[in-house]
Amino acid sequence: MAIELYKNDGDEVYKVKLTAPNDAECVIYTYGATVTSWKVQGKELLFVSKLAKLDGTKAIRGGIPIVFPQFGPGKLPQHGFARNTNWKVVDQDNKTGDMATVHFELTDSEATRASEWPYRFRLLYKVTLTGTTLSTIIEYENLDSSAFDFTTLMHTYFRTSDVAGVKVKGLDGIKYVDKILGQSDVVETRKDVIVDKNEDRVYVDVPGEVLVDGVGSEDGRVIVKRFNYKDIVFWNPWEEKAKEMSDFGDDEYKEMVCVEAGSVAKPVSLEPGSKWVGGQLLRLAPKA
Ligand SMILES: O=P(O)(O)OC[C@H]1O[C@H](O)[C@H](O)[C@@H](O)[C@@H]1O
């Protein structure tokens, strides 16, 4: 198990690479603490656009950007400030078992205190790689004298060899908000949710694990297990919306699907001095 820190000319860490047995690897940029690559048996399971900006000028289009403290549009810029702020590497561990772990920290700054979400806070983000899993867990802490609310999400972009073959399982019977049609409380009736058009849905209060079939290769299956995160967002821009994004190739909607674990339908409330933990564990499942 190795942990490599990559530094820029100013001697600051800009990228961390974790490796684990089974030819597993994971790369995280300190910008947004965005995971940009997760490989198992050498095979890439995450999508990053070939047009993604990796120079800190824009949130990274792909991988696992962190949405905090606001999902979607609102008082703050879309999806909040965590995905386009530099996080700090504060700890690392490759001595425990067959795993490698790195911890990132984000705290309030002059800029965040001057924003529409001015609270004092600390996020501690723990990324752990094993031979078949990637766990991404955040401890959210309120360091302010007032309570605050937030919404948060791991905006995971899964790589697909062909989006037409993707099936998302575990959403049957769950109520969702269709952000494209402007409908809420619609009930999902399909066992296999497929992607064949522009989709933007929030499945609310999903109780169990979700399985994404068709990740990395036709028969690659990834299980998404969540800790305290209640909802699952399901998104693909499809042809027309893809063309509207400057950092996304026109045809790349065929190579990805976003299945995003978070708490977004209802905000999380944190009292002064208290902590809350949320996150996900991605596991490459054995072939069916
Ligand atoms: O373009 P971005 O700000 O990265 O957002 C990309 C997408 O994120 C989520 O999936 C939202 O539900 C979508 O409404 C949004 O279009």
CA dihedral 178, 181, 185, 190 (to 10 degrees): -60
Q: What is the pLDDT of residue 190?
A: 98
d(CA 42, CA 21): 11
* 155 labelled catalytic: yes
Per DSSP, which regions of 145-241 are E strands?
A: 148-154, 157-159, 167-169, 175-178, 183-187, 192-193, 199-203, 210-213, 221-227, 231-236
H-helix segments, the chain: 110-113, 238-244
DSSP track, 24-61: EEEEEETBTTEEEEEEETTEE-B-B-TT---SSSS--S
Confidence of residue 6 (pLDDT cuts 50, 70, 90): very high
Confidence of residue 163 (pLDDT cuts 50, 70, 90): very high
Residue 228, SS3? Answer: coil
pLDDT tens-digit readout, 49-87: 999 999 999 999 999 999 999 999 999 999 999 999 999
Residue whose CA is at the smallest distance from ligand 1 atom 1:
245
Percent helix, strand and coil across the chain, each to the nearest 5: 5, 50, 45
Cβ(78) – ligand 1 distance below 6 Å? yes
* 260 labelled catalytic: yes
Looking at the chain, the number of H-run helices and the number of E-run strands are 2, 22
Cis peptide before 237 (omega within 30 of 0): no
Q: Is the pLDDT of residue 288 over 80?
A: no
Q: Is the pLDDT of residue 95 over 90?
A: no
Confidence of residue 171 (pLDDT cuts 50, 70, 90): very high
Which tokens in the block code for residue 82?
């965590």
Q: How close is the Cα of 265 to the center of ligand 1, in Å?
A: 15
How many domains does the chain fold into?
1
Q: What is the pLDDT of residue 164?
A: 96
d(CA 26, CA 18): 5
Site of tokens 């070939």: 50
Cβ(199) – ligand 1 distance below 6 Å? no
User: What average pLDDT does this structure show over 137-163?
Assistant: 97
Q: Are 19 and 130 in contact (CB under 8 A)?
A: no
Residue among 200, 204, 248 whose CB has most ligand 1 atoms within 8 A, to mutate: 200
Residue numbers of the domain that contains 129: 2-284
CATH of the domain at 87: 2.70.98.10
Residue whose CA is at the smallest distance from ligand 1 atom 12:
200
Q: Is the pLDDT of residue 184 over 90?
A: yes
DSSP track, 61-81: SBSBPEE-S--SSSSSSTT-S
Site of tokens 């950092």: 247
Of 25, 79, 155, 255, which residue is the catalytic one? 155
d(CA 219, CA 224): 16
Cβ(138) – ligand 1 distance below 6 Å? no
Q: What is the pLDDT of residue 96?
A: 86
